[in-house]
Structure 1
């Protein structure tokens, strides 16, 4: 693995929280395989363009909110697992969950499968 799990998690959450489209594209290019896939109960996207659109949608759905790591990052083989919260500054989280991450041979994210622990009702 060419990047530490903690540094990769930092990039992952930076992707979600970055408002500047150009900077976000740089983060995605550095952290994700070109064929990267993200799937959770709300989204199923692939590739850098799909990831970009997904994050833009999340920003529209939850303005002023940011994602943050909660707890420890677990690792075995080419897999990582971490948990997260989504909250506005100084507020209780509105959503939270756990992501299982699969890495490619270069240590970039190949796939994220997300599970929601709690989320707003639709």
Structure 2
């Protein structure tokens, strides 16, 4: 797997993570301390806000509704920007229920500075 697709895979893994401690660690590994996430009118900044946003999505979509997220095999990088699509599927099937586009601005150390989520994509 190439490094750009690896970023996409690590990104969706955070949203699927069931263990709060591992999720917190994955957030710190993927985003910078002042990392930002934007979707619709929601705007979060920093590890605590990211953790709240991701945990809320996980609880609703994964824990309660029985879905999972996966990265499409279309991750691309141009300088400091990574884009890829993600998909939400039932845990047991391959039926895509939702699809979004991530536009990530990366720091020099390879972590996310800003995450723009376009949904639906």
**Shorter-chain-normalised TM-score: which range?**
0.7 to 0.9
Of stretches 36-45 and 98-107 in structure 1, the one that deviates more from structure 2 is 36-45
CA drift of 1:42 comes to 6.1
Match of residue 69, structure 2, among 48, 53, 67: 67
- Tell me how far apart the structure 2 counterparts of residues 18 and 100 of structure 1 sit (CA, whole Å): 21
Q: Give structure 2 stretches of 5+ with no counterpart.
A: none
CA RMSD in angstroms, aligned pairs only: 1.8
Of stretches 73-82 and 60-69 in structure 1, the one that deviates more from structure 2 is 60-69
Once the two structures are superposed, what CA deviation does each residue of 1:82-113 show, in whole Å capped at 9, x if it has no partner?
A: 00111212152332111100001111011110
Report what 2:99 is aligned to: 96
Q: TM-score, normalised by structure 2?
A: 0.87
- Tell me how far apart the structure 2 counterparts of residues 59 and 51 of structure 1 sit (CA, whole Å): 12
Runs of 4+ in 1 over 6 A off after TM superposition: none
CA drift of 1:72 comes to 1.1
Q: Cα gap change, 1:42/1:20 in structure 2, threshold over 3 Å: closer, same or farther?
A: farther
What SS does the aligned partner of 1:49 have?
Answer: helix
Q: Cα gap change, 1:59/1:12 in structure 2, threshold over 3 Å: closer, same or farther?
A: same
For 1:99-118, what aligned pairs fall within 5 Å after superposition?
Answer: 99-117=102-120
Q: Give structure 1 stretches of 5+ with no counterpart.
A: none
Of stretches 3-12 and 84-93 in structure 1, the one that deviates more from structure 2 is 3-12
> What is the number of residues matched between the two proteins?
116
Report what 2:15 is aligned to: 16
